[in-house]
């Protein structure tokens, strides 16, 4: 698999503080890479550096072999699509109009001929057909997340960056989003997804990068990264890492230890 992103010695500062520190990471076409770690670890900042929205203080990020700073906004939009945590739209566009926004980067390009097919496929895969005529601003959090995902899918880029796409979703739609991520990777796309659910990451990611205090402390297969010792060290809680009946790993708190409350 070829590298979509090559990250070397990356440092990102926000408010004068280093949020991402000395990160080295490759993101490959044809894989789902999950970024996991506790709150405040730097996962979203790292993803923002990949999108080009967070300034790089030191080091380098290359996309398809070119420094990220060399890319025009239009070329970036046709190469990578981004789903942020905050699914906000300032005006009462309908869901259909929001999904159609995903095709804006292709206006004037030959691929604009694919607009209708791309939009229809994105609507179907995100399960938003019944929401198309509703104002985006009137949707629930989960509905907004699915409509925003449809916009990202309609963009039809080779790289897809998803920041906590399952956070507001019910169990069924969490699984469906990650199945979509797997399907994208199967067609050769590079998918990076920030997740809090370690069991979901273990089930659906090819590799996991665990972020702690702005650094990547481990990267590899789910079995390599999600050891009880490492999870306890990073998250500060004892866990069981167990094989599920379907063969994937599940991570659950060691409640016999964590239920004790100090007086």
- Residue 83 belongs to what H/E stretch? strand 80-83
In a domain, 86, yes or no: yes
Predicted confidence (pLDDT) per residue in 6-59, tens digit: 999 999 999 989 999 999 999 999 999 999 999 999 999 999 999 999 999 999
In a domain, 105, yes or no: yes
Q: What is the mean pLDDT of residues 159-163?
A: 97
Place of tokens 């297969």: 221
In a domain, 180, yes or no: yes
**CA dist list (Å): 138 to 62, 85, 147, 166, 169:** 39, 18, 12, 19, 16
In a domain, 123, yes or no: yes
Strands 31-36 and 207-212: parallel
Sign, Cα dihedral of 3, 76, 193, 115: negative
Strands 17-28 and 159-163: unpaired
In a domain, 263, yes or no: no
Count Cα atoms within 13 angstroms, Cβ side, for 27.
30
Q: How many domains does the chain have?
A: 1
Query: What integer pLDDT is reported at residue 180 of this predicted model?
Result: 95
Residue 261 has pLDDT above 60, yes or no: no
Share of the chain above pLDDT 90, in %: 89
Sign, Cα dihedral of 167, 169, 173, 177: negative
d(CA 147, CA 134) in angstroms, rounded, equals 11
Query: What integer pLDDT is reported at residue 101 of this predicted model?
Result: 96
Residue 260 has pLDDT above 60, yes or no: no
Query: What integer pLDDT is reported at residue 60 of this predicted model?
Result: 97
86: three-class secondary structure by DSSP:
coil
In a domain, 164, yes or no: yes
**Maximum alpha-carbon separation in the chain:** 67
User: Rg of the Cα trace of the chain?
Assistant: 19
Share of the chain above pLDDT 70, in %: 97
Domain that holds residue 98: 3-258
CATH number for 222: 3.40.50.300
Place of tokens 């408010």: 15
CA 215 to chain CA centroid, Å, is 18
Query: What integer pLDDT is reported at residue 256 of this predicted model?
Result: 73
């Amino acid at each position: 698999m070829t590298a979509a992103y090559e990250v070397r010695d990356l440092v990102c500062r926000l408010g004068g503080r280093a949020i991402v520190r000395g990160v080295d990471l490759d993101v490959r076409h044809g894989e789902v890479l999950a970024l996991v770690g506790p709150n405040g670890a730097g996962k979203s900042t790292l993803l923002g550096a990949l999108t080009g929205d967070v300034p790089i203080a030191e080091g380098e990020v290359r996309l398809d072999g070119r420094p990220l700073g060399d890319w025009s906004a239009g070329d970036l939009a046709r190469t990578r699509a981004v789903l942020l945590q905050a699914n906000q739209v300032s005006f009462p566009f309908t869901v259909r109009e929001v999904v159609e926004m995903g095709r804006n980067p292709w206006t004037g390009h030959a691929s604009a001929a694919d607009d209708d097919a791309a939009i229809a496929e994105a609507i179907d895969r995100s399960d938003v057909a019944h929401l198309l005529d509703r104002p985006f601003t009137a949707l629930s959090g989960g509905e907004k997340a699915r409509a925003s995902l449809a916009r990202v899918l309609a963009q039809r880029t080779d790289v897809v960056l998803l920041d906590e796409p399952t956070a507001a979703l019910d169990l069924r739609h969490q699984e469906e989003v990650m199945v979509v991520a797997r399907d994208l990777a199967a067609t050769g796309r590079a998918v990076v997804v920030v997740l809090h659910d370690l069991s979901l990451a273990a089930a659906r990611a090819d590799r996991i990068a665990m972020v702690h205090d702005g650094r990547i402390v481990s990267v590899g297969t789910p079995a390599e990264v999600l050891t009880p010792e490492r999870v306890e060290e990073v998250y500060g809680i004892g866990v069981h890492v167990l094989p599920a009946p379907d063969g994937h790993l599940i991570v659950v708190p060691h409640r016999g230890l964590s239920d004790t409350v100090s007086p």
